[in-house]
Structure 1
Amino acid sequence: MAEVQSVQALASSLAALPPEFVRSEHERPGATTFRGGDAPEIPVIDMAAPESAARVAEAAAEWGLFQVVNHGVPAAAVAELQRVGREFFALPQEEKARYAMDASSGKMEGYGSKLQKDLEGKKAWADFFFHNVAPPAMVNHDIWPSHPAGYRYAEANEEYCKHMQRLAWKLFEHLSTALGLDGGAMWEAFGGDELVFLHKINFYPPCPEPELTLGVAPHTDMSTFTVLVPNDVQGLQVFKDGHWYDVKYVPDALIIHIGDQIEILSNGRYKAVLHRTTVDKDRTRMSWPVFVEPPPEHVVGPHPQLVTDGSPAKYKAKKFKDYRHCKINKLPM
Protein backbone atom coordinates (compact mmCIF):
# COMPACT_ATOMS: atom_id res chain seq x y z
CA MET A 1 0.00 0.00 0.00
CA ALA A 2 1.40 3.41 -1.00
CA GLU A 3 1.93 6.02 1.67
CA VAL A 4 0.01 9.24 1.06
CA GLN A 5 0.65 12.43 2.97
CA SER A 6 -2.79 13.91 3.42
CA VAL A 7 -3.83 17.49 4.10
CA GLN A 8 -7.02 16.04 5.56
CA ALA A 9 -5.03 14.11 8.18
CA LEU A 10 -2.68 17.03 8.83
CA ALA A 11 -5.55 19.49 9.34
CA SER A 12 -7.01 17.51 12.23
CA SER A 13 -3.91 18.10 14.37
CA LEU A 14 -3.07 21.76 13.67
CA ALA A 15 -3.75 24.92 15.65
CA ALA A 16 -1.69 27.16 13.35
CA LEU A 17 -0.69 27.05 9.71
CA PRO A 18 2.79 25.58 9.05
CA PRO A 19 5.08 28.05 7.24
CA GLU A 20 5.27 25.94 4.08
CA PHE A 21 1.57 26.69 3.49
CA VAL A 22 1.82 30.45 4.03
CA ARG A 23 1.74 32.19 0.66
CA SER A 24 3.75 35.29 -0.21
CA GLU A 25 1.93 38.58 0.38
CA HIS A 26 0.97 39.06 -3.27
CA GLU A 27 -0.87 35.70 -3.23
CA ARG A 28 -2.61 35.74 0.15
CA PRO A 29 -6.37 35.72 -0.39
CA GLY A 30 -7.00 37.81 2.71
CA ALA A 31 -5.09 40.69 1.11
CA THR A 32 -5.80 40.20 -2.61
CA THR A 33 -9.52 39.36 -2.85
CA PHE A 34 -11.71 42.19 -4.17
CA ARG A 35 -14.11 43.21 -1.43
CA GLY A 36 -15.73 46.28 -2.96
CA GLY A 37 -19.45 46.62 -3.42
CA ASP A 38 -19.31 47.15 -7.19
CA ALA A 39 -17.80 43.84 -8.33
CA PRO A 40 -18.85 42.91 -11.89
CA GLU A 41 -21.40 40.14 -12.30
CA ILE A 42 -19.95 36.78 -13.33
CA PRO A 43 -22.36 35.48 -16.01
CA VAL A 44 -25.11 33.02 -15.05
CA ILE A 45 -26.62 31.62 -18.25
CA ASP A 46 -29.96 29.87 -18.67
CA MET A 47 -29.20 27.12 -21.20
CA ALA A 48 -32.90 26.83 -22.04
CA ALA A 49 -33.16 30.48 -23.12
CA PRO A 50 -33.12 31.40 -26.84
CA GLU A 51 -30.12 33.71 -26.34
CA SER A 52 -28.00 31.09 -24.54
CA ALA A 53 -25.66 30.46 -27.48
CA ALA A 54 -24.73 34.12 -27.81
CA ARG A 55 -24.30 34.50 -24.06
CA VAL A 56 -22.03 31.44 -23.81
CA ALA A 57 -19.77 32.82 -26.53
CA GLU A 58 -19.75 36.30 -25.00
CA ALA A 59 -18.87 34.95 -21.54
CA ALA A 60 -16.12 32.72 -22.99
CA ALA A 61 -14.53 35.76 -24.64
CA GLU A 62 -15.05 38.22 -21.77
CA TRP A 63 -14.56 36.09 -18.65
CA GLY A 64 -13.44 32.60 -19.63
CA LEU A 65 -15.82 31.41 -16.90
CA PHE A 66 -19.58 31.31 -16.47
CA GLN A 67 -22.28 29.37 -14.65
CA VAL A 68 -25.10 27.51 -16.38
CA VAL A 69 -28.57 26.67 -15.10
CA ASN A 70 -31.32 24.63 -16.78
CA HIS A 71 -28.43 22.64 -18.22
CA GLY A 72 -30.23 19.30 -18.44
CA VAL A 73 -28.11 17.42 -15.89
CA PRO A 74 -30.56 15.91 -13.38
CA ALA A 75 -30.24 17.05 -9.79
CA ALA A 76 -30.34 13.40 -8.70
CA ALA A 77 -27.25 12.59 -10.80
CA VAL A 78 -25.35 15.52 -9.26
CA ALA A 79 -26.45 14.53 -5.75
CA GLU A 80 -25.28 10.94 -6.22
CA LEU A 81 -21.91 12.09 -7.56
CA GLN A 82 -21.49 14.29 -4.49
CA ARG A 83 -22.63 11.58 -2.09
CA VAL A 84 -20.04 9.03 -3.15
CA GLY A 85 -17.33 11.70 -3.19
CA ARG A 86 -18.10 12.79 0.36
CA GLU A 87 -18.22 9.20 1.55
CA PHE A 88 -14.90 8.36 -0.12
CA PHE A 89 -13.14 11.15 1.76
CA ALA A 90 -14.82 10.03 4.99
CA LEU A 91 -13.09 6.62 4.71
CA PRO A 92 -10.13 5.82 6.98
CA GLN A 93 -6.82 7.09 5.61
CA GLU A 94 -5.49 3.58 5.04
CA GLU A 95 -8.54 2.74 2.91
CA LYS A 96 -8.12 5.83 0.72
CA ALA A 97 -4.40 5.08 0.39
CA ARG A 98 -5.25 1.83 -1.43
CA TYR A 99 -6.01 4.01 -4.43
CA ALA A 100 -2.91 6.22 -4.20
CA MET A 101 -1.64 7.84 -7.37
CA ASP A 102 1.61 6.28 -8.61
CA ALA A 103 3.66 9.29 -9.68
CA SER A 104 6.40 7.05 -11.10
CA SER A 105 3.99 5.71 -13.73
CA GLY A 106 3.32 9.18 -15.13
CA LYS A 107 -0.43 8.60 -14.92
CA MET A 108 -2.84 11.17 -13.52
CA GLU A 109 -5.26 8.74 -11.91
CA GLY A 110 -5.61 7.97 -8.21
CA TYR A 111 -5.75 9.52 -4.75
CA GLY A 112 -3.22 12.13 -3.65
CA SER A 113 -2.60 15.53 -2.16
CA LYS A 114 -1.11 18.93 -2.96
CA LEU A 115 1.74 18.48 -0.50
CA GLN A 116 4.33 18.77 -3.25
CA LYS A 117 6.03 22.17 -3.11
CA ASP A 118 5.57 24.64 -5.96
CA LEU A 119 8.24 26.88 -7.50
CA GLU A 120 8.14 29.19 -4.48
CA GLY A 121 8.51 26.24 -2.11
CA LYS A 122 4.87 26.43 -0.97
CA LYS A 123 2.27 23.70 -0.49
CA ALA A 124 -1.44 23.83 -1.30
CA TRP A 125 -4.26 23.02 1.14
CA ALA A 126 -5.98 20.22 -0.80
CA ASP A 127 -6.37 16.50 -1.35
CA PHE A 128 -7.86 14.99 -4.50
CA PHE A 129 -8.96 11.88 -6.36
CA PHE A 130 -8.64 11.62 -10.16
CA HIS A 131 -9.82 9.05 -12.69
CA ASN A 132 -10.96 8.79 -16.30
CA VAL A 133 -14.63 8.14 -17.03
CA ALA A 134 -14.53 8.13 -20.86
CA PRO A 135 -13.82 6.89 -23.46
CA PRO A 136 -14.09 3.21 -22.44
CA ALA A 137 -10.61 2.38 -23.74
CA MET A 138 -9.08 4.82 -21.23
CA VAL A 139 -11.11 3.76 -18.18
CA ASN A 140 -9.36 1.65 -15.53
CA HIS A 141 -12.01 0.47 -13.09
CA ASP A 142 -9.31 -0.85 -10.75
CA ILE A 143 -8.67 2.79 -9.81
CA TRP A 144 -12.32 3.28 -8.83
CA PRO A 145 -12.90 2.55 -5.13
CA SER A 146 -15.05 -0.39 -4.09
CA HIS A 147 -16.28 1.74 -1.20
CA PRO A 148 -18.49 3.65 -0.76
CA ALA A 149 -21.30 1.56 -2.17
CA GLY A 150 -22.35 2.86 -5.55
CA TYR A 151 -19.11 4.50 -6.60
CA ARG A 152 -18.49 2.00 -9.36
CA TYR A 153 -22.08 1.90 -10.50
CA ALA A 154 -23.43 3.83 -13.44
CA GLU A 155 -25.54 6.31 -11.48
CA ALA A 156 -22.55 7.78 -9.63
CA ASN A 157 -19.99 8.19 -12.42
CA GLU A 158 -20.75 6.62 -15.77
CA GLU A 159 -24.31 7.97 -15.90
CA TYR A 160 -23.08 11.41 -14.86
CA CYS A 161 -20.48 11.23 -17.63
CA LYS A 162 -23.22 10.68 -20.22
CA HIS A 163 -24.80 13.94 -19.10
CA MET A 164 -21.38 15.62 -19.34
CA GLN A 165 -20.95 14.37 -22.90
CA ARG A 166 -24.34 15.81 -23.92
CA LEU A 167 -23.54 19.14 -22.25
CA ALA A 168 -20.08 19.22 -23.85
CA TRP A 169 -21.59 18.78 -27.31
CA LYS A 170 -23.99 21.68 -26.70
CA LEU A 171 -21.29 23.99 -25.36
CA PHE A 172 -18.94 23.15 -28.23
CA GLU A 173 -21.77 23.80 -30.67
CA HIS A 174 -22.47 27.25 -29.19
CA LEU A 175 -18.80 28.18 -29.14
CA SER A 176 -18.22 26.92 -32.69
CA THR A 177 -21.11 28.70 -34.36
CA ALA A 178 -20.22 32.01 -32.71
CA LEU A 179 -16.82 31.77 -34.45
CA GLY A 180 -18.50 31.20 -37.82
CA LEU A 181 -17.64 27.50 -37.81
CA ASP A 182 -19.88 24.50 -38.34
CA GLY A 183 -21.71 23.49 -35.15
CA GLY A 184 -19.72 20.25 -34.84
CA ALA A 185 -16.34 21.82 -35.61
CA MET A 186 -14.96 21.97 -32.07
CA TRP A 187 -16.21 18.53 -31.10
CA GLU A 188 -14.40 17.03 -34.09
CA ALA A 189 -11.31 19.25 -33.77
CA PHE A 190 -10.78 18.03 -30.21
CA GLY A 191 -11.18 14.33 -30.95
CA GLY A 192 -14.91 13.66 -31.35
CA ASP A 193 -16.04 10.46 -29.68
CA GLU A 194 -12.48 9.89 -28.41
CA LEU A 195 -12.61 12.98 -26.19
CA VAL A 196 -11.33 12.16 -22.70
CA PHE A 197 -13.51 12.95 -19.67
CA LEU A 198 -11.42 13.08 -16.50
CA HIS A 199 -13.28 13.23 -13.19
CA LYS A 200 -11.71 14.77 -10.10
CA ILE A 201 -12.83 15.25 -6.51
CA ASN A 202 -11.18 18.14 -4.66
CA PHE A 203 -11.17 18.10 -0.85
CA TYR A 204 -10.22 21.22 1.11
CA PRO A 205 -10.46 20.60 4.87
CA PRO A 206 -10.95 23.42 7.42
CA CYS A 207 -7.81 25.53 7.77
CA PRO A 208 -6.68 27.40 10.91
CA GLU A 209 -5.54 30.49 8.94
CA PRO A 210 -7.34 30.49 5.58
CA GLU A 211 -6.47 34.10 4.78
CA LEU A 212 -2.80 33.09 4.40
CA THR A 213 -3.01 30.05 2.11
CA LEU A 214 -4.62 28.63 -1.03
CA GLY A 215 -6.31 25.36 -1.88
CA VAL A 216 -5.07 25.63 -5.47
CA ALA A 217 -2.62 28.27 -6.70
CA PRO A 218 -3.51 30.49 -9.70
CA HIS A 219 -3.61 28.55 -12.96
CA THR A 220 -5.51 27.96 -16.18
CA ASP A 221 -6.84 24.48 -16.98
CA MET A 222 -5.06 22.65 -19.79
CA SER A 223 -8.38 21.05 -20.86
CA THR A 224 -10.77 22.27 -23.56
CA PHE A 225 -13.10 23.25 -20.77
CA THR A 226 -13.97 22.08 -17.28
CA VAL A 227 -17.44 21.49 -15.82
CA LEU A 228 -17.41 21.93 -12.05
CA VAL A 229 -19.92 21.15 -9.32
CA PRO A 230 -19.10 22.92 -6.01
CA ASN A 231 -20.55 22.50 -2.58
CA ASP A 232 -21.90 25.62 -0.88
CA VAL A 233 -18.63 26.65 0.80
CA GLN A 234 -17.12 29.70 -0.92
CA GLY A 235 -13.75 29.06 -2.52
CA LEU A 236 -13.45 29.51 -6.29
CA GLN A 237 -12.02 32.85 -7.43
CA VAL A 238 -11.44 34.27 -10.92
CA PHE A 239 -8.89 36.89 -11.98
CA LYS A 240 -10.11 39.72 -14.20
CA ASP A 241 -8.94 43.27 -14.86
CA GLY A 242 -6.28 43.05 -12.18
CA HIS A 243 -8.55 41.77 -9.38
CA TRP A 244 -9.51 38.44 -7.79
CA TYR A 245 -13.28 37.99 -7.56
CA ASP A 246 -15.30 35.35 -5.68
CA VAL A 247 -17.43 33.09 -7.87
CA LYS A 248 -20.60 33.09 -5.80
CA TYR A 249 -22.41 29.84 -5.20
CA VAL A 250 -25.56 29.46 -7.31
CA PRO A 251 -27.71 26.47 -6.28
CA ASP A 252 -28.07 23.83 -9.05
CA ALA A 253 -25.64 25.65 -11.36
CA LEU A 254 -22.63 24.10 -13.07
CA ILE A 255 -19.49 26.24 -13.42
CA ILE A 256 -17.79 26.21 -16.82
CA HIS A 257 -14.08 27.06 -17.08
CA ILE A 258 -12.70 27.75 -20.56
CA GLY A 259 -9.35 25.95 -20.80
CA ASP A 260 -6.14 26.33 -22.78
CA GLN A 261 -7.20 24.12 -25.71
CA ILE A 262 -10.23 26.26 -26.58
CA GLU A 263 -8.11 29.41 -26.36
CA ILE A 264 -5.64 27.79 -28.77
CA LEU A 265 -8.23 26.47 -31.22
CA SER A 266 -10.08 29.82 -31.25
CA ASN A 267 -6.77 31.59 -31.92
CA GLY A 268 -7.24 33.66 -28.80
CA ARG A 269 -10.83 34.77 -29.31
CA TYR A 270 -11.91 32.77 -26.27
CA LYS A 271 -9.84 33.10 -23.10
CA ALA A 272 -8.66 30.39 -20.69
CA VAL A 273 -9.63 31.62 -17.25
CA LEU A 274 -7.01 32.27 -14.58
CA HIS A 275 -8.48 31.01 -11.32
CA ARG A 276 -7.53 29.84 -7.84
CA THR A 277 -9.16 28.27 -4.79
CA THR A 278 -9.40 29.59 -1.25
CA VAL A 279 -10.29 27.58 1.87
CA ASP A 280 -12.47 28.04 4.94
CA LYS A 281 -11.65 28.18 8.65
CA ASP A 282 -14.56 26.09 9.88
CA ARG A 283 -16.02 24.12 6.96
CA THR A 284 -14.81 21.62 4.39
CA ARG A 285 -15.02 22.75 0.81
CA MET A 286 -15.39 20.15 -1.93
CA SER A 287 -15.74 20.34 -5.69
CA TRP A 288 -16.31 17.82 -8.47
CA PRO A 289 -14.76 18.97 -11.78
CA VAL A 290 -14.85 17.04 -15.05
CA PHE A 291 -12.03 17.99 -17.42
CA VAL A 292 -12.83 17.53 -21.11
CA GLU A 293 -9.56 16.84 -22.91
CA PRO A 294 -8.35 15.81 -26.38
CA PRO A 295 -6.88 12.29 -26.66
CA PRO A 296 -3.16 12.27 -25.80
CA GLU A 297 -1.97 11.82 -29.41
CA HIS A 298 -4.42 14.35 -30.85
CA VAL A 299 -2.94 17.52 -32.36
CA VAL A 300 -4.57 20.84 -31.42
CA GLY A 301 -3.76 24.19 -32.98
CA PRO A 302 -5.63 27.27 -34.19
CA HIS A 303 -8.53 26.25 -36.44
CA PRO A 304 -7.51 26.81 -40.10
CA GLN A 305 -10.65 28.89 -40.78
CA LEU A 306 -9.63 31.32 -38.02
CA VAL A 307 -6.10 31.93 -39.33
CA THR A 308 -5.82 34.68 -41.96
CA ASP A 309 -3.29 37.24 -43.13
CA GLY A 310 -4.93 39.71 -40.78
CA SER A 311 -5.11 37.19 -37.92
CA PRO A 312 -2.05 34.93 -38.04
CA ALA A 313 -1.74 31.88 -35.81
CA LYS A 314 -0.93 32.89 -32.22
CA TYR A 315 -0.19 29.36 -31.00
CA LYS A 316 1.78 26.34 -32.18
CA ALA A 317 -0.04 23.10 -33.00
CA LYS A 318 0.93 20.29 -30.61
CA LYS A 319 -0.09 16.82 -29.59
CA PHE A 320 -2.07 17.19 -26.39
CA LYS A 321 0.32 14.89 -24.51
CA ASP A 322 3.22 17.16 -25.47
CA TYR A 323 1.31 20.26 -24.44
CA ARG A 324 0.50 18.66 -21.08
CA HIS A 325 4.14 17.66 -20.54
CA CYS A 326 5.34 21.20 -21.22
CA LYS A 327 2.74 22.79 -18.94
CA ILE A 328 3.21 20.40 -16.03
CA ASN A 329 6.99 20.75 -16.19
CA LYS A 330 6.84 24.50 -16.90
CA LEU A 331 8.75 24.16 -20.17
CA PRO A 332 8.51 26.52 -23.16
CA MET A 333 5.37 25.89 -25.21
Structure 2
Amino acid sequence: MVMSGTPVIDMQMVDGLAEEIVKACVEFGCFRVVNHGVSAELMAEMKVVVSSLFDLPEEIKRRTANPNEHGKGYIGRNRSTPFLEGFSIDEISYPNDFFNRLGVSTHQRDIINRYIKAIRDLNGLLGRKLMEGNGLNGDLFDGWCCQLRMNKYHFSAESIGLTCAPIHSDPTFLTILQDDEGVNGLQVVDKITGEFVPFDPVPGTLAVNIGDIGKVTSQNFPFILIVMLYFTT
Protein backbone atom coordinates (compact mmCIF):
# COMPACT_ATOMS: atom_id res chain seq x y z
CA MET A 1 0.00 0.00 0.00
CA VAL A 2 1.23 3.46 -0.91
CA MET A 3 0.20 6.55 1.00
CA SER A 4 -3.04 7.72 -0.60
CA GLY A 5 -2.23 9.85 -3.63
CA THR A 6 1.53 9.60 -3.30
CA PRO A 7 2.96 9.86 -6.83
CA VAL A 8 4.96 7.11 -8.51
CA ILE A 9 6.96 8.98 -11.15
CA ASP A 10 8.44 7.41 -14.28
CA MET A 11 11.91 8.91 -14.64
CA GLN A 12 11.88 8.08 -18.36
CA MET A 13 8.81 10.25 -18.92
CA VAL A 14 9.37 12.33 -22.06
CA ASP A 15 7.12 15.28 -21.32
CA GLY A 16 6.28 16.92 -18.01
CA LEU A 17 8.84 15.11 -15.82
CA ALA A 18 10.21 18.27 -14.24
CA GLU A 19 6.74 19.55 -13.43
CA GLU A 20 5.69 16.21 -11.91
CA ILE A 21 8.74 16.13 -9.63
CA VAL A 22 8.24 19.70 -8.43
CA LYS A 23 4.53 19.07 -7.85
CA ALA A 24 5.27 15.94 -5.81
CA CYS A 25 7.83 17.83 -3.71
CA VAL A 26 5.41 20.67 -3.00
CA GLU A 27 2.25 18.64 -2.40
CA PHE A 28 3.65 15.56 -0.66
CA GLY A 29 7.33 16.05 0.11
CA CYS A 30 7.89 12.45 -0.94
CA PHE A 31 7.31 10.20 -3.94
CA ARG A 32 8.51 6.99 -5.55
CA VAL A 33 10.37 6.62 -8.83
CA VAL A 34 10.41 3.85 -11.43
CA ASN A 35 12.73 3.43 -14.42
CA HIS A 36 15.28 5.19 -12.26
CA GLY A 37 18.43 3.67 -13.76
CA VAL A 38 19.37 1.43 -10.82
CA SER A 39 18.87 -2.08 -12.13
CA ALA A 40 16.98 -4.70 -10.14
CA GLU A 41 20.09 -6.89 -10.30
CA LEU A 42 22.30 -4.18 -8.81
CA MET A 43 19.77 -3.42 -6.08
CA ALA A 44 19.67 -7.11 -5.16
CA GLU A 45 23.47 -7.42 -5.25
CA MET A 46 23.78 -4.38 -3.01
CA LYS A 47 21.47 -5.97 -0.44
CA VAL A 48 23.69 -9.06 -0.36
CA VAL A 49 26.87 -6.99 0.06
CA VAL A 50 25.38 -4.82 2.79
CA SER A 51 24.11 -7.88 4.63
CA SER A 52 27.60 -9.37 4.53
CA LEU A 53 29.08 -6.17 6.01
CA PHE A 54 26.67 -6.30 8.93
CA ASP A 55 27.66 -9.95 9.47
CA LEU A 56 31.25 -8.91 10.17
CA PRO A 57 32.50 -9.20 13.77
CA GLU A 58 31.69 -6.21 15.97
CA GLU A 59 35.35 -5.27 16.43
CA ILE A 60 35.83 -5.01 12.66
CA LYS A 61 32.67 -2.96 12.11
CA ARG A 62 33.75 -0.52 14.80
CA ARG A 63 36.89 0.31 12.82
CA THR A 64 34.73 2.72 10.81
CA ALA A 65 33.14 4.40 13.87
CA ASN A 66 33.75 8.11 14.36
CA PRO A 67 34.16 8.82 18.09
CA ASN A 68 33.93 12.57 17.54
CA GLU A 69 30.81 12.70 15.37
CA HIS A 70 27.89 10.45 16.22
CA GLY A 71 26.05 9.26 13.15
CA LYS A 72 29.13 8.84 11.00
CA GLY A 73 30.86 5.56 10.22
CA TYR A 74 29.52 2.60 12.17
CA ILE A 75 26.66 2.99 14.63
CA GLY A 76 25.90 0.01 16.80
CA ARG A 77 22.67 -0.79 18.57
CA ASN A 78 22.23 1.12 21.80
CA ARG A 79 19.66 1.90 24.47
CA SER A 80 17.88 4.57 22.41
CA THR A 81 17.86 2.51 19.18
CA PRO A 82 18.06 -1.15 20.31
CA PHE A 83 16.95 -2.55 16.94
CA LEU A 84 18.90 -0.28 14.59
CA GLU A 85 22.46 -0.75 13.32
CA GLY A 86 24.09 1.39 10.65
CA PHE A 87 27.07 2.20 8.46
CA SER A 88 27.78 5.36 6.52
CA ILE A 89 30.21 6.39 3.81
CA ASP A 90 30.29 10.05 4.65
CA GLU A 91 31.37 11.27 1.21
CA ILE A 92 30.68 8.83 -1.59
CA SER A 93 33.35 10.40 -3.78
CA TYR A 94 35.94 8.93 -1.40
CA PRO A 95 34.83 5.46 -0.27
CA ASN A 96 38.27 3.81 -0.11
CA ASP A 97 38.93 4.57 3.56
CA PHE A 98 35.67 2.85 4.46
CA PHE A 99 36.60 -0.12 2.26
CA ASN A 100 40.09 -0.41 3.72
CA ARG A 101 38.93 -0.23 7.33
CA LEU A 102 36.54 -3.14 6.77
CA GLY A 103 38.81 -5.09 4.44
CA VAL A 104 36.07 -5.53 1.87
CA SER A 105 36.71 -7.73 -1.15
CA THR A 106 37.26 -6.57 -4.72
CA HIS A 107 33.78 -7.84 -5.59
CA GLN A 108 32.18 -5.93 -2.72
CA ARG A 109 34.00 -2.74 -3.72
CA ASP A 110 32.79 -3.15 -7.30
CA ILE A 111 29.15 -3.57 -6.29
CA ILE A 112 29.19 -0.58 -3.91
CA ASN A 113 30.99 1.63 -6.44
CA ARG A 114 28.53 0.67 -9.18
CA TYR A 115 25.64 1.38 -6.83
CA ILE A 116 27.10 4.75 -5.87
CA LYS A 117 27.45 5.71 -9.54
CA ALA A 118 23.88 4.68 -10.37
CA ILE A 119 22.44 6.57 -7.41
CA ARG A 120 24.58 9.63 -8.15
CA ASP A 121 23.34 9.60 -11.75
CA LEU A 122 19.75 9.48 -10.50
CA ASN A 123 20.50 12.25 -8.03
CA GLY A 124 21.90 14.38 -10.84
CA LEU A 125 18.79 13.83 -12.96
CA LEU A 126 16.52 14.75 -10.04
CA GLY A 127 18.55 17.90 -9.44
CA ARG A 128 18.40 18.98 -13.07
CA LYS A 129 14.65 18.41 -13.19
CA LEU A 130 14.13 20.34 -9.96
CA MET A 131 16.01 23.25 -11.53
CA GLU A 132 14.05 22.95 -14.78
CA GLY A 133 10.73 22.77 -12.96
CA ASN A 134 11.58 26.02 -11.17
CA GLY A 135 12.52 27.78 -14.40
CA LEU A 136 16.27 27.50 -13.82
CA ASN A 137 19.17 25.89 -15.68
CA GLY A 138 22.15 23.84 -14.53
CA ASP A 139 23.04 20.88 -12.34
CA LEU A 140 21.62 21.56 -8.89
CA PHE A 141 23.71 18.96 -7.04
CA ASP A 142 26.91 19.10 -9.10
CA GLY A 143 29.89 18.87 -6.74
CA TRP A 144 27.80 18.70 -3.58
CA CYS A 145 28.43 16.31 -0.71
CA CYS A 146 26.64 12.97 -0.78
CA GLN A 147 26.42 10.38 1.99
CA LEU A 148 25.61 6.70 1.61
CA ARG A 149 23.93 5.24 4.67
CA MET A 150 23.21 1.54 5.18
CA ASN A 151 20.76 0.50 7.89
CA LYS A 152 19.89 -2.86 9.35
CA TYR A 153 16.79 -3.30 11.47
CA HIS A 154 16.94 -6.29 13.82
CA PHE A 155 13.36 -7.45 13.77
CA SER A 156 12.09 -9.98 16.27
CA ALA A 157 8.85 -10.94 17.96
CA GLU A 158 9.72 -8.47 20.73
CA SER A 159 10.11 -5.58 18.31
CA ILE A 160 6.60 -5.78 16.82
CA GLY A 161 4.77 -2.53 17.46
CA LEU A 162 7.90 -0.73 18.65
CA THR A 163 9.77 2.09 16.93
CA CYS A 164 13.02 0.88 15.36
CA ALA A 165 14.19 4.31 14.23
CA PRO A 166 13.27 7.45 16.18
CA ILE A 167 10.67 9.76 14.68
CA HIS A 168 12.65 12.34 12.74
CA SER A 169 12.99 14.52 9.67
CA ASP A 170 16.06 14.17 7.48
CA PRO A 171 18.50 17.09 7.93
CA THR A 172 19.27 16.99 4.21
CA PHE A 173 18.11 18.44 0.94
CA LEU A 174 17.14 15.12 -0.60
CA THR A 175 16.96 11.49 0.50
CA ILE A 176 16.87 8.55 -1.89
CA LEU A 177 15.79 5.37 -0.14
CA GLN A 178 16.02 1.76 -1.21
CA ASP A 179 13.75 0.07 1.26
CA ASP A 180 13.44 -3.63 1.96
CA GLU A 181 10.63 -5.01 -0.17
CA GLY A 182 9.97 -7.75 2.36
CA VAL A 183 9.42 -5.47 5.36
CA ASN A 184 7.12 -2.50 5.72
CA GLY A 185 6.88 -0.06 8.59
CA LEU A 186 8.02 3.22 7.02
CA GLN A 187 5.55 5.99 7.83
CA VAL A 188 5.30 9.66 6.92
CA VAL A 189 3.21 12.50 8.30
CA ASP A 190 0.22 13.58 6.25
CA LYS A 191 0.62 17.36 6.05
CA ILE A 192 -3.15 17.92 6.06
CA THR A 193 -4.27 15.61 8.88
CA GLY A 194 -0.99 15.40 10.80
CA GLU A 195 -1.45 11.63 11.05
CA PHE A 196 1.21 9.01 10.42
CA VAL A 197 0.35 7.06 7.29
CA PRO A 198 2.09 4.06 5.67
CA PHE A 199 4.66 4.62 2.94
CA ASP A 200 5.09 0.95 2.18
CA PRO A 201 7.60 -0.50 -0.31
CA VAL A 202 6.67 -0.96 -3.97
CA PRO A 203 8.79 -3.52 -5.87
CA GLY A 204 11.32 -1.98 -8.23
CA THR A 205 10.90 1.58 -6.95
CA LEU A 206 13.08 3.92 -4.95
CA ALA A 207 11.57 6.35 -2.46
CA VAL A 208 12.53 10.03 -2.55
CA ASN A 209 11.79 12.64 0.08
CA ILE A 210 12.71 16.25 0.65
CA GLY A 211 14.64 16.93 3.85
CA ASP A 212 14.86 19.95 6.11
CA ILE A 213 17.25 21.90 3.88
CA GLY A 214 15.09 21.34 0.83
CA LYS A 215 11.96 22.40 2.68
CA VAL A 216 13.46 25.58 4.10
CA THR A 217 15.06 26.63 0.81
CA SER A 218 12.39 25.43 -1.61
CA GLN A 219 12.17 28.88 -3.20
CA ASN A 220 15.92 29.47 -3.34
CA PHE A 221 18.12 26.42 -3.69
CA PRO A 222 21.30 26.57 -1.59
CA PHE A 223 24.82 25.91 -2.76
CA ILE A 224 25.55 23.27 -0.13
CA LEU A 225 23.98 19.84 -0.14
CA ILE A 226 24.10 16.62 1.82
CA VAL A 227 22.23 13.83 0.08
CA MET A 228 21.65 10.80 2.28
CA LEU A 229 21.19 7.52 0.47
CA TYR A 230 19.60 4.93 2.71
CA PHE A 231 19.69 1.19 2.21
CA THR A 232 17.73 -1.00 4.58
CA THR A 233 18.05 -4.70 5.11
1:158-307 superposed matches below 5 A: 158-184=113-139, 186-187=140-141, 192-193=142-143, 195-232=144-181, 233-240=183-190, 241-267=193-219, 302-303=220-221
Aligned length: 222
Structure 1 residue 135, shift from structure 2 partner: 2.6
2:90 matched to 1:132?
Answer: yes
Where 2:90 maps in the other structure, the secondary structure is strand
* Matching residue's letter, 2:38: V
The question of whether the paired residues in 1 share the 8 Å contact of 2:74 and 2:86 is answered with yes
CA distance in 2, matches of 1:164, 1:40: 26
1:47 matched residue in structure 2: 11
Give the unaligned 5+ runs of structure 1: 1-36, 118-122, 268-301, 304-316, 322-333
Structure 1 residue 133, shift from structure 2 partner: 4.7
The question of whether the paired residues in 1 share the 8 Å contact of 2:174 and 2:211 is answered with yes
1:113 matched residue in structure 2: 76
CA distance in 2, matches of 1:224, 1:141: 24
Where 1:197 maps in the other structure, the secondary structure is strand
* Matching residue's letter, 1:177: E
Give the unaligned 5+ runs of structure 2: 227-233
* 2:48 alignment partner, one of 71, 83, 90: 83
Where 1:171 maps in the other structure, the secondary structure is helix
Where 2:166 maps in the other structure, the secondary structure is strand
Where 2:207 maps in the other structure, the secondary structure is strand
Identify if the C-alpha distance between structure 1 residues 238 and 140 changes in structure 2 by more than 3 Å, giving closer, same or farther: same
CA distance in 2, matches of 1:68, 1:126: 26
1:30 matched residue in structure 2: none
Identify if the C-alpha distance between structure 1 residues 109 and 38 changes in structure 2 by more than 3 Å, giving closer, same or farther: closer
* Matching residue's letter, 1:167: L
Structure 1 residue 124, shift from structure 2 partner: 5.0
* Matching residue's letter, 1:239: V
Structure 1 residue 250, shift from structure 2 partner: 1.0
Identify if the C-alpha distance between structure 1 residues 251 and 318 changes in structure 2 by more than 3 Å, giving closer, same or farther: closer
The question of whether the paired residues in 1 share the 8 Å contact of 2:83 and 2:164 is answered with yes
Answer 1 or 2: higher relative contact order, Cα 8 Å, separation at least 6: 2
Q: CA RMSD in A?
A: 2.8
The question of whether the paired residues in 2 share the 8 Å contact of 1:101 and 1:110 is answered with yes
Deviation string 1:17-66 (CA, Å, 9 cap, x unpaired) is: xxxxxxxxxxxxxxxxxxxx996232111111233222211111111111
**Which ranges of 4 or more aligned residues in structure 1 deviate by more than 4 Å?**
317-321
1:71 matched residue in structure 2: 36
2:231 matched residue in structure 1: none
Task: State, as a whole percentage, how many aligned pairs show the same letter.
Answer: 25
Q: Larger Cα Rg: Structure 1 or Structure 2? A: 1
Bigger Cα displacement from structure 2, 245-254 vs 85-94? 85-94
- TM-score w.r.t. length of structure 2: 0.82
